[in-house]
Amino acid sequence: MEPARAVPYPPSAARAVLRKHFGFDGFRPGQERLVCAVLAGRDALGVLPTGGGKTLCFQLPAFVLEGLVVVISPLISLMQDQVDRAGRLGLRAASLTSQDPEAEQRRTEQAIRENRLDLLFCSPERLEATRLRALLGEARISLITIDEAHCISEWGHEFRPAFRRIRALRAVAPAPVLAVTATATPAVRDDIVQVAGMNDPLRVVTSFDRPNIRWLVARCSPGGDRVRAIVRVLRRLPSDSSGRAVIVYAPTRRQVVAVRRALASLGTVGDAYHAALPGKERQAVQQRFMSGESNVVVATCAFGMGIDRGDVCAVFHYAFPGSLESYYQEAGRAGRDGAPSIALGFVASSDWKVPQSFLDRSFPPEREVLELLGKIKATTRGTAGLPTARDLAGPGDANVPHLKWLGRSGAVRLSPAFTEWVESWPDGEAEGPPSVQGPAAFVTGAPPDFASLSAARNQSLERLRAMRRYCGRWRCRRASLLRYLGETPARRSCGSCDLCERRAPP
């Protein structure tokens, strides 16, 4: 069915919808232009900073347009939260993922058939399923939104191959496309436009600069010295920072637990958050933080996606992540309320072993991937039948990176639900592989092609090198971040990073 044709939509009308449904008097930078563009039926690409309000850019059109707004997102663990938030606004929203119960999936499909939904969240892998594609082809689609759009690009830091096949959706659902992300270099932006088949899109790229954040790097050995430095910074914050929130990022679950305990011993009590916690406990930690009941969280990178608390006064990195993109997103959760805030990270030469180990695990040697292929072939030749999802994932999900690259190599075809889980792993929340009806993997007989594995490994190594360069001593931190993200800094010296201030961080 042809979607309803959107008509030009005046900014004044968009602001009226904003006040009525969201309670805001004005848009954040970039939002109004993106909203009015898609309401006028035009493709649009928005690069808005962390906390810049990307979600509103597809929620508001869902109130105006007659038809279904499809939101394609890689973060399957957050979709239920997105559905709940949309519901509280008054939108009829649902998700379709491998984590949803089968009965709930059937109810959602029926709601699509009966035009009883305003918003549908799904992963790019789920979108490839013939059943859903046919269903959407018969539905009234008013807008296709690509969330975390940097995942569409092979140059992006979280590439997902299924995103590159979204273009085919427009053949059955000729609706405008809105692509939004917080981090995209100029090369990634061009790739998004080309791969998504966007037609003369409006490009809105707001400044990546966050003037209210002091960017600080402290050279300090791991352990108690770092924890004591965090406490010193917190004690020196202005009195008007009382009650504002603090996030401390640590790269491993073990470090999260250790840092939280050390902070508590020094009088700073907070919660711990990591993917090994039971789902209900993670939700409770997040709810306490969002409600203001808890103001300190020590967490892995799993914490923060979908967190929009505005009064975070400081984000600490017990150690830096493996890319500037990840660092900018995490540190950028500070100061969304515009108040002066701090992004302080600690570094020592020994720290880089952890991101390097993560990189090695994410991009395993080809021989290890081939070994798993051999085991799958041996299993399929036996009498036990094809391997189950749990068998394939291995103890502690150790085989998941190997499965990801086997699937991308063409040598193995994974079932759709299992593909969705493998490609999204680890997104911080998903609790084990989904229950898959029938075999989870099929050997195609095609020779494996590992060119993409090699290229992705090299790109990640370069991102890690860029992260290490940022932590050097010779250039303004703010200018380094802006240049990396494709923005020319207004000044060579910002005056509010540890290098420009010419004094050591606390």
Output the DSSP codes for 276-317. TS-HHHHHHHHHHHHHTS--EEEE-TTS-TT---S-EEEEEE
Residue 501 inside a domain? The answer is no
Which of 141, 174, 205 lies at the terminal end of a domain, its last residue? 205
Q: What is the rounded distance in angstroms from the CA atom of residue 404 to the CA atom of residue 424? A: 10
Residue 440 has what pLDDT?
A: 82
Let me know whether 372 and 335 are in one domain.
Answer: no
Let me know whether 198 and 229 are in one domain.
Answer: no
Let me know whether 382 and 324 are in one domain.
Answer: no
Residue 470 inside a domain? The answer is no
Residue 1 inside a domain? The answer is no
The counts of H helices and E strands in the chain are 21, 15
CA distances from 95 to 32, 67, 79, 229, 419 (A): 26, 16, 6, 43, 17
Let me know whether 195 and 264 are in one domain.
Answer: no
Count CB-CB contacts under 10 A for residue 7: 8
Let me know whether 402 and 319 are in one domain.
Answer: no
Strand ranges for 394-435 from DSSP E = 412-414
Let me know whether 309 and 384 are in one domain.
Answer: no
Which of 185, 205, 225 lies at the terminal end of a domain, its last residue? 205
Residue 172 inside a domain? The answer is yes
Torsion-angle region of 236 (φ positive above 0: left; ψ -120 to 50: alpha; else: beta): alpha
Residue 231 inside a domain? The answer is yes
Residue 68 has phi, psi (to 5 degrees) of -100, 130
Let me know whether 352 and 332 are in one domain.
Answer: yes
Let me know whether 197 and 67 are in one domain.
Answer: yes
Output the CA torsion 32→35→36→37 (10° steps): 120
Residue 67 inside a domain? The answer is yes
Which of 307, 335, 356 lies at the terminal end of a domain, its last residue? 356
Digit-by-digit pLDDT tens for the chain (506 residues) are: 344 444 568 899 999 999 999 999 999 999 999 999 999 999 999 999 877 789 999 999 999 999 999 999 887 777 878 898 899 999 999 999 877 788 898 999 999 999 999 999 998 888 877 788 889 888 999 999 999 898 888 766 678 888 888 887 887 888 999 999 988 888 889 999 998 999 999 999 999 999 999 999 999 999 999 999 999 999 988 766 667 899 999 999 999 999 999 999 999 999 999 877 887 888 899 889 988 999 999 999 878 766 778 899 999 999 999 999 899 989 999 998 889 999 999 999 999 999 999 999 999 999 999 999 998 888 776 545 556 788 888 888 889 999 999 999 999 988 888 888 888 876 544 456 777 666 788 889 899 999 999 999 999 999 999 999 999 878 899 999 999 988 999 888 898 999 998 766 66
- For the whole model, what pTM was predicted? 0.86
Let me know whether 195 and 304 are in one domain.
Answer: no
Let me know whether 300 and 382 are in one domain.
Answer: no
- Closest listed residue to residue 304, CA positions, set 235, 250, 374, 364: 250
Pairing of strands 245-249, 202-205: unpaired
Q: Which residue's structure tokens are 């008013």? A: 142
At what angle are helices 11-22 and 56-64 packed, to 10 degrees? Answer: 100
Which residues constitute the domain of residue 35? 11-205
Let me know whether 288 and 395 are in one domain.
Answer: no
Q: How many domains does the chain have?
A: 3
Residue 474 has what pLDDT?
A: 81
Q: What is the rounded distance in angstroms from the CA atom of residue 170 to the CA atom of residue 198? A: 10
Let me know whether 394 and 439 are in one domain.
Answer: yes
Residue 462 inside a domain? The answer is no
Residue 498 inside a domain? The answer is no
Q: Residue 313's domain is classified under what CATH number?
A: 3.40.50.300
